[in-house]
Structure 1
Amino acid sequence: MAEATQRELPPVRHSLSNPSDQEALELDQSQDQPFSTLPVTITDRRTPRIVRWWRSHVSLGVPHAKCRDHLANERTFLGYLRTGQAFAILGVIIAQLMQLQHSLHPNPVLGFFVVSVPLSSVCHGSAILISILGASRFFHWQQEMSRGYALFGGWELHSVAVLTTLVIACLFCLVLAISIKED
């Protein structure tokens, strides 16, 4: 008779009006699950090297409790890509605008027409370098987070700041020198 009175209750379903409260509830429920519930792919030496690299560096199962860190890492990578893209666009603008400043008797040593292509090339090189730095940072931090380490800071951010400052200062000095020389 005691067995008949004990029933298993159905799981409680919360109807929360705020989506962030629902996400917090799901996050609390997912933290109870161990990491062993994630699928693990075992590779051997017969698997091609690129497939092993892809599985260990790119494809990564992330538990819901840790997805915030990985999404922040992706947003940071997209920030590096946006910065590189801004430098590439700046290079195109410099090349186009300074080519339009071609006068009838241009200065063959220091003029807008002369410095447009090298300065544009510097901007495009900076764009490529920033994108490569962002990609290397993304893969390094993803690997460290998959091991369970939490990182902060990094030399990449400082190098991009120094590079940006140098390119903008160089651009400002060249435009100022050309403007003074033409006047």
Structure 2
Amino acid sequence: MRVIVLIFLFLVCSFLSKAQDPVLAVNRIDKYTKELIKQTSLYSFKDGNTVKLHFNVRSVDENYYLQLNVDQPVTVKKGTEITLTMEDGKLLKLVSDNDIISLGESDISKRMIVCTLELAEITALLKQQVNSIRVPTSNKGTVNLTLTAKDKPMIRTAMTLVSPKLVPKKI
């Protein structure tokens, strides 16, 4: 009997430990500014068993943002070019809108690198999958991540979730 219970617990834990695809975490109209705000849940990209990068997509009215977080203490200056390699081999260069300064391990996961998306970038991300991401940092060199087959469609999925066709909740 104990063996069956242990096997059951092992199966439940293994199913719960898998990364969940991005879902729409926020879909509301701000009661003060009257802005439509949509944001996906945080999704983690792994390199083997190590998480290297987290991302989500956010929209405020007609403005779209790709938000990235490197899972180590890094410094990224405002204006840094983050490069996404698309499935057709073209490079999509996004510019960081903010500074990230991490002083040590305790600073990890506190701030997101925010990249404002223009119409051409939104269109590219909605049409194609991302094959790799390159984030240059000031203190840790360049963080390169080649996405697995499972992770390649995740940014496109997140972009679709924040697209204008979804109806917001009224607060």
State whether TM-score is above 0.5. no
Structure with higher Rg: it is: 1
Question: TM-score, length-normalised on structure 2?
Answer: 0.23
Q: Answer 1 or 2: which has greater helix percent.
A: 1
Higher strand fraction: Structure 1 or Structure 2?
2
